[in-house]
Amino acid sequence: MRSAAELLAAEIRDQGPIPFSRFMETALYHPEHGYYRSPRDPFGTAGDFYTASQLQPVFGRLIAAVMHQRRAELGDPERFIIVEWGAGRGELAEHLTAFHHYALDVGRGSAPPRFEGVVFSNELFDALPVDVVRIQDGVASLMLVGRQDGGFVWTPGPPVPEEWHAYIERVRAIFPPGEELWIELPVRLRDTLAAMAAPLERGFIITIDYGYTEPELIRFPRGTLMSYRRHRAVEDVLRDPGEQDITAHVPFTHLEACAASLGLVSSPLITLTRFLMEAGEPDQFASALAAADEHEALRLRLQLKSLLFGMGETFRCIAFRK
Protein backbone atom coordinates (compact mmCIF):
# COMPACT_ATOMS: atom_id res chain seq x y z
CA MET A 1 0.00 0.00 0.00
CA ARG A 2 1.33 3.42 -0.94
CA SER A 3 -0.94 5.73 1.00
CA ALA A 4 -3.35 6.09 3.93
CA ALA A 5 -6.18 6.41 1.38
CA GLU A 6 -5.30 3.02 -0.15
CA LEU A 7 -5.06 1.37 3.27
CA LEU A 8 -8.42 2.77 4.35
CA ALA A 9 -10.10 1.87 1.04
CA ALA A 10 -8.84 -1.74 1.37
CA GLU A 11 -10.02 -1.96 4.99
CA ILE A 12 -13.51 -0.71 4.05
CA ARG A 13 -13.63 -3.09 1.06
CA ASP A 14 -12.77 -6.06 3.32
CA GLN A 15 -14.77 -5.19 6.45
CA GLY A 16 -17.40 -2.65 5.44
CA PRO A 17 -17.75 0.94 6.72
CA ILE A 18 -15.50 1.89 9.66
CA PRO A 19 -15.90 4.25 12.65
CA PHE A 20 -14.55 7.76 12.07
CA SER A 21 -12.06 7.31 14.95
CA ARG A 22 -10.50 4.45 12.97
CA PHE A 23 -10.37 6.61 9.82
CA MET A 24 -8.78 9.51 11.76
CA GLU A 25 -6.28 7.21 13.50
CA THR A 26 -4.99 5.84 10.19
CA ALA A 27 -5.13 9.24 8.42
CA LEU A 28 -3.08 10.98 11.13
CA TYR A 29 -1.02 8.29 12.87
CA HIS A 30 -0.41 5.27 10.62
CA PRO A 31 3.30 4.57 11.25
CA GLU A 32 4.22 4.96 7.58
CA HIS A 33 1.46 6.94 5.89
CA GLY A 34 -0.14 8.93 8.72
CA TYR A 35 -0.17 12.72 8.35
CA TYR A 36 1.87 13.20 11.54
CA ARG A 37 4.22 10.28 10.83
CA SER A 38 5.29 11.01 7.25
CA PRO A 39 8.52 12.91 6.51
CA ARG A 40 6.66 15.99 5.25
CA ASP A 41 6.67 18.72 7.93
CA PRO A 42 3.08 19.92 8.54
CA PHE A 43 4.08 22.91 10.72
CA GLY A 44 5.04 26.46 9.77
CA THR A 45 5.13 28.52 6.57
CA ALA A 46 5.85 25.66 4.17
CA GLY A 47 3.41 23.33 5.95
CA ASP A 48 -0.32 23.49 6.67
CA PHE A 49 -0.71 25.45 9.90
CA TYR A 50 1.08 27.30 12.71
CA THR A 51 0.89 26.52 16.40
CA ALA A 52 2.06 28.78 19.21
CA SER A 53 5.17 26.60 19.39
CA GLN A 54 6.44 28.16 16.17
CA LEU A 55 6.39 31.62 17.77
CA GLN A 56 9.86 31.28 19.29
CA PRO A 57 11.55 32.44 21.38
CA VAL A 58 8.67 34.33 23.04
CA PHE A 59 6.31 31.36 23.55
CA GLY A 60 9.13 29.18 24.90
CA ARG A 61 10.35 31.90 27.29
CA LEU A 62 6.84 32.43 28.67
CA ILE A 63 6.29 28.68 29.10
CA ALA A 64 9.65 28.53 30.92
CA ALA A 65 8.41 31.34 33.21
CA VAL A 66 5.25 29.30 33.93
CA MET A 67 7.41 26.30 34.80
CA HIS A 68 9.53 28.34 37.25
CA GLN A 69 6.30 29.52 38.93
CA ARG A 70 4.95 25.96 39.14
CA ARG A 71 8.23 24.62 40.51
CA ALA A 72 8.08 27.25 43.26
CA GLU A 73 4.44 26.29 44.01
CA LEU A 74 5.59 22.71 44.54
CA GLY A 75 8.24 23.90 47.02
CA ASP A 76 11.22 23.64 44.62
CA PRO A 77 11.50 19.84 44.52
CA GLU A 78 15.03 18.65 43.82
CA ARG A 79 14.03 16.80 40.66
CA PHE A 80 11.34 18.86 38.95
CA ILE A 81 10.47 17.21 35.65
CA ILE A 82 8.55 18.53 32.65
CA VAL A 83 6.98 16.02 30.29
CA GLU A 84 5.73 17.54 27.06
CA TRP A 85 2.96 15.36 25.62
CA GLY A 86 2.51 15.62 21.84
CA ALA A 87 5.67 17.69 21.36
CA GLY A 88 5.45 17.86 17.54
CA ARG A 89 8.58 19.49 16.12
CA GLY A 90 10.01 19.95 19.62
CA GLU A 91 10.55 23.72 19.48
CA LEU A 92 10.04 24.12 23.24
CA ALA A 93 13.05 21.99 24.22
CA GLU A 94 15.70 24.72 23.85
CA HIS A 95 13.73 27.01 26.19
CA LEU A 96 13.34 24.40 28.92
CA THR A 97 17.02 23.54 29.43
CA ALA A 98 16.83 24.80 33.05
CA PHE A 99 14.60 21.77 33.77
CA HIS A 100 14.64 18.03 33.21
CA HIS A 101 12.52 18.00 30.06
CA TYR A 102 11.12 14.92 28.29
CA ALA A 103 9.39 15.32 24.92
CA LEU A 104 7.12 12.58 23.65
CA ASP A 105 4.90 12.10 20.66
CA VAL A 106 3.22 9.19 18.88
CA GLY A 107 5.86 6.49 18.35
CA ARG A 108 8.71 8.41 20.02
CA GLY A 109 9.85 9.39 23.49
CA SER A 110 8.45 8.36 26.84
CA ALA A 111 7.75 9.77 30.29
CA PRO A 112 9.74 8.70 33.35
CA PRO A 113 7.83 6.04 35.34
CA ARG A 114 7.19 8.37 38.32
CA PHE A 115 7.93 12.06 38.73
CA GLU A 116 7.10 15.38 40.34
CA GLY A 117 6.57 18.32 38.04
CA VAL A 118 4.40 19.27 35.07
CA VAL A 119 2.86 17.45 32.14
CA PHE A 120 2.43 20.07 29.43
CA SER A 121 0.57 19.89 26.14
CA ASN A 122 -0.18 22.39 23.38
CA GLU A 123 -2.78 21.40 20.77
CA LEU A 124 -2.71 17.73 21.74
CA PHE A 125 -6.36 17.04 22.57
CA ASP A 126 -7.68 18.56 19.34
CA ALA A 127 -5.64 16.00 17.41
CA LEU A 128 -7.10 12.92 19.14
CA PRO A 129 -9.37 10.65 17.08
CA VAL A 130 -13.11 11.11 17.70
CA ASP A 131 -16.25 9.25 16.69
CA VAL A 132 -19.19 11.03 15.12
CA VAL A 133 -22.91 10.84 15.88
CA ARG A 134 -25.74 12.26 13.80
CA ILE A 135 -29.11 12.99 15.35
CA GLN A 136 -31.78 13.16 12.67
CA ASP A 137 -35.55 13.06 13.29
CA GLY A 138 -34.82 12.24 16.91
CA VAL A 139 -32.71 9.17 16.07
CA ALA A 140 -29.01 9.11 17.04
CA SER A 141 -26.71 6.99 14.84
CA LEU A 142 -22.99 6.50 14.83
CA MET A 143 -21.72 7.82 11.49
CA LEU A 144 -19.30 5.49 9.73
CA VAL A 145 -16.97 6.06 6.80
CA GLY A 146 -17.71 4.09 3.64
CA ARG A 147 -16.74 4.23 -0.03
CA GLN A 148 -18.66 5.54 -3.00
CA ASP A 149 -17.57 6.50 -6.52
CA GLY A 150 -13.91 6.18 -5.58
CA GLY A 151 -14.16 8.52 -2.58
CA PHE A 152 -14.85 8.32 1.16
CA VAL A 153 -18.40 9.11 2.30
CA TRP A 154 -20.37 9.31 5.55
CA THR A 155 -22.78 6.46 6.04
CA PRO A 156 -25.21 5.92 8.97
CA GLY A 157 -24.23 3.04 11.19
CA PRO A 158 -25.43 1.39 14.40
CA PRO A 159 -27.01 3.11 17.43
CA VAL A 160 -24.68 4.99 19.77
CA PRO A 161 -22.96 2.78 22.39
CA GLU A 162 -24.66 2.95 25.78
CA GLU A 163 -21.66 4.52 27.55
CA TRP A 164 -22.14 7.71 25.48
CA HIS A 165 -25.93 8.07 25.97
CA ALA A 166 -25.67 10.54 28.88
CA TYR A 167 -23.10 12.65 26.95
CA ILE A 168 -25.35 12.77 23.87
CA GLU A 169 -28.39 13.67 25.96
CA ARG A 170 -26.56 16.57 27.60
CA VAL A 171 -25.44 17.92 24.24
CA ARG A 172 -28.83 17.38 22.61
CA ALA A 173 -30.51 19.39 25.39
CA ILE A 174 -28.45 22.47 24.41
CA PHE A 175 -30.15 22.72 21.00
CA PRO A 176 -33.77 23.38 19.99
CA PRO A 177 -35.67 20.10 19.52
CA GLY A 178 -35.88 18.69 16.01
CA GLU A 179 -32.66 20.25 14.68
CA GLU A 180 -30.28 17.88 12.85
CA LEU A 181 -27.11 17.63 14.91
CA TRP A 182 -23.64 16.25 14.33
CA ILE A 183 -21.77 15.58 17.55
CA GLU A 184 -18.22 14.38 18.06
CA LEU A 185 -17.60 11.75 20.73
CA PRO A 186 -14.18 12.34 22.35
CA VAL A 187 -13.48 8.61 22.58
CA ARG A 188 -9.72 8.93 23.29
CA LEU A 189 -9.78 11.89 25.64
CA ARG A 190 -10.13 10.15 29.02
CA ASP A 191 -7.51 7.47 28.28
CA THR A 192 -5.04 10.11 27.08
CA LEU A 193 -5.56 12.25 30.20
CA ALA A 194 -5.24 9.11 32.37
CA ALA A 195 -1.95 8.23 30.63
CA MET A 196 -0.66 11.76 31.28
CA ALA A 197 -1.70 11.64 34.95
CA ALA A 198 -0.46 8.10 35.68
CA PRO A 199 3.29 8.74 36.06
CA LEU A 200 2.78 12.13 37.77
CA GLU A 201 3.24 11.68 41.52
CA ARG A 202 2.68 15.31 42.43
CA GLY A 203 2.31 18.36 40.25
CA PHE A 204 0.27 19.76 37.40
CA ILE A 205 -1.09 18.91 34.00
CA ILE A 206 -1.22 22.13 31.97
CA THR A 207 -2.89 22.04 28.61
CA ILE A 208 -3.48 24.66 25.93
CA ASP A 209 -5.98 24.04 23.17
CA TYR A 210 -8.99 25.44 21.36
CA GLY A 211 -12.44 24.22 22.19
CA TYR A 212 -15.68 24.98 23.95
CA THR A 213 -17.53 24.56 27.20
CA GLU A 214 -20.86 22.72 26.86
CA PRO A 215 -23.08 25.86 26.72
CA GLU A 216 -20.87 27.22 23.90
CA LEU A 217 -21.61 24.14 21.80
CA ILE A 218 -24.77 25.94 20.60
CA ARG A 219 -22.45 27.51 17.97
CA PHE A 220 -21.69 24.13 16.39
CA PRO A 221 -24.85 22.19 15.42
CA ARG A 222 -22.87 20.47 12.65
CA GLY A 223 -19.91 19.64 14.90
CA THR A 224 -16.40 21.06 14.91
CA LEU A 225 -14.42 18.67 12.70
CA MET A 226 -12.10 20.53 10.33
CA SER A 227 -9.12 19.81 8.12
CA TYR A 228 -6.18 22.10 7.41
CA ARG A 229 -4.05 22.20 4.30
CA ARG A 230 -1.64 24.86 3.15
CA HIS A 231 -3.02 27.30 5.74
CA ARG A 232 -6.61 26.92 4.55
CA ALA A 233 -9.47 25.32 6.47
CA VAL A 234 -11.03 22.42 4.52
CA GLU A 235 -14.52 21.30 5.54
CA ASP A 236 -14.35 17.86 3.91
CA VAL A 237 -12.45 15.87 6.54
CA LEU A 238 -12.81 12.66 4.50
CA ARG A 239 -10.80 14.08 1.61
CA ASP A 240 -7.23 12.86 0.99
CA PRO A 241 -6.57 11.00 4.28
CA GLY A 242 -2.92 11.29 5.28
CA GLU A 243 -2.48 14.49 3.26
CA GLN A 244 -4.29 16.99 5.49
CA ASP A 245 -4.67 17.57 9.21
CA ILE A 246 -7.95 16.66 10.92
CA THR A 247 -8.99 18.34 14.18
CA ALA A 248 -11.97 18.49 16.51
CA HIS A 249 -12.46 21.26 19.09
CA VAL A 250 -11.79 20.13 22.64
CA PRO A 251 -14.90 19.68 24.83
CA PHE A 252 -13.50 21.34 27.96
CA THR A 253 -16.52 20.52 30.16
CA HIS A 254 -15.98 16.83 29.41
CA LEU A 255 -12.21 17.20 29.92
CA GLU A 256 -12.89 18.67 33.38
CA ALA A 257 -15.32 15.82 34.19
CA CYS A 258 -12.72 13.23 33.11
CA ALA A 259 -10.09 14.98 35.23
CA ALA A 260 -12.39 14.92 38.27
CA SER A 261 -13.06 11.19 37.74
CA LEU A 262 -9.28 10.65 37.76
CA GLY A 263 -8.92 12.52 41.06
CA LEU A 264 -7.39 15.65 39.49
CA VAL A 265 -8.35 19.11 40.73
CA SER A 266 -9.17 21.62 37.98
CA SER A 267 -8.33 25.28 38.07
CA PRO A 268 -10.69 27.57 36.11
CA LEU A 269 -10.47 27.48 32.31
CA ILE A 270 -8.81 30.72 31.18
CA THR A 271 -7.90 32.27 27.85
CA LEU A 272 -4.39 31.83 26.50
CA THR A 273 -4.07 35.63 26.76
CA ARG A 274 -4.64 35.55 30.51
CA PHE A 275 -2.36 32.53 30.94
CA LEU A 276 0.49 34.29 29.10
CA MET A 277 -0.17 37.61 30.89
CA GLU A 278 0.20 35.82 34.23
CA ALA A 279 3.47 34.31 32.98
CA GLY A 280 4.92 37.59 31.70
CA GLU A 281 3.62 40.16 34.16
CA PRO A 282 6.00 39.51 37.09
CA ASP A 283 8.87 41.13 35.12
CA GLN A 284 6.66 43.14 32.73
CA PHE A 285 7.62 40.72 29.87
CA ALA A 286 11.26 41.88 30.11
CA SER A 287 12.80 38.38 29.86
CA ALA A 288 10.31 37.24 27.19
CA LEU A 289 11.24 40.27 25.04
CA ALA A 290 15.01 40.46 25.78
CA ALA A 291 16.69 41.13 22.42
CA ALA A 292 20.20 41.81 21.14
CA ASP A 293 19.18 44.62 18.77
CA GLU A 294 16.25 46.73 17.57
CA HIS A 295 15.41 44.43 14.68
CA GLU A 296 15.18 41.43 17.02
CA ALA A 297 13.22 43.50 19.58
CA LEU A 298 10.61 44.32 16.93
CA ARG A 299 10.35 40.67 15.87
CA LEU A 300 9.77 39.58 19.46
CA ARG A 301 7.15 42.27 20.10
CA LEU A 302 5.27 41.05 17.01
CA GLN A 303 5.43 37.48 18.30
CA LEU A 304 4.00 38.56 21.65
CA LYS A 305 1.25 40.49 19.86
CA SER A 306 0.34 37.39 17.80
CA LEU A 307 0.26 35.24 20.92
CA LEU A 308 -1.81 37.65 23.02
CA PHE A 309 -4.16 39.08 20.42
CA GLY A 310 -4.04 36.64 17.47
CA MET A 311 -4.27 33.30 19.25
CA GLY A 312 -4.92 34.45 22.80
CA GLU A 313 -8.70 34.68 22.77
CA THR A 314 -9.25 31.56 20.62
CA PHE A 315 -7.05 29.26 22.63
CA ARG A 316 -7.68 28.38 26.26
CA CYS A 317 -5.63 26.95 29.02
CA ILE A 318 -6.59 24.65 31.83
CA ALA A 319 -4.46 23.26 34.64
CA PHE A 320 -5.15 20.20 36.76
CA ARG A 321 -3.43 19.54 40.06
CA LYS A 322 -2.49 16.13 41.34
Ligand X SMILES: C[S@@+](CC[C@H](N)C(=O)[O-])C[C@H]1O[C@@H](n2cnc3c(N)ncnc32)[C@H](O)[C@@H]1O
Nearer to ligand X, 86 or 157 (CB): 86
Work out which of 21, 53, 227, 303 binds ligand X, going by CB under 6 A: 53
| Minimum distance of ligand X from residue 56's CB (angstroms) | 10
- Round to whole Å and give the CA distance between 226 and 314: 15
123 binds ligand X (CB under 6 A): yes
Size of the site for ligand X (CB under 6 A): 17
When asked if residue 242 is in the footprint of ligand X (CB under 6 A), the reply is no
Of 52, 50, 86, 47, nearest to 317 by C-alpha is 52
Q: What are phi and psi of 277, to 5 degrees?
A: -65, -45
Distance (Å, whole) CA 15 – CA 144: 12
Which residue lies nearer to ligand X by CB, 19 or 88?
88
Nearest alpha-carbon partner for 117 in 95, 97, 100: 100
Q: Does 205 bind ligand X (CB under 6 A)?
A: no
Q: Which of 20, 80, 85, 152 binds ligand X (CB under 6 A)?
A: 85
Strand pairing partners for 151?
148
Name residue 48's amino acid: D
Out of 93, 106, 226, 270, which residue is the one contacting ligand X (CB under 6 A)?
Answer: 106
Q: What pairs with residue 211 in β-bridges?
A: 250
SS3 2: coil
Can residue 51 be called a binding residue for ligand X (CB under 6 A)?
yes
Q: Which stretch binds ligand X (CB under 6 A): 10-18, 82-90, 173-181, 273-281?
A: 82-90
105 lies in the binding site for ligand X (CB under 6 A): yes
Strand-pair partners of 83? 102, 119
For residue 33, the SS3 value is: coil
Interface with ligand X (CB under 6 A), residue from 4, 7, 82, 127: 127
Residues 22-41 close enough to bind ligand X by CB under 6 A: 36
> Would you tell me the crossing angle of helices 58-73 and 294-305 to the nearest 10 degrees?
70
Q: Which amino acid is at 141?
A: S
| Contact between 224 and ligand X per CB under 6 A | no
Contact between 88 and ligand X by CB under 6 A: the answer reads yes
Interface contacts to ligand X, rule CB under 6 A: 36, 43, 51, 53, 85-88, 104-106, 122-124, 127-128, 192
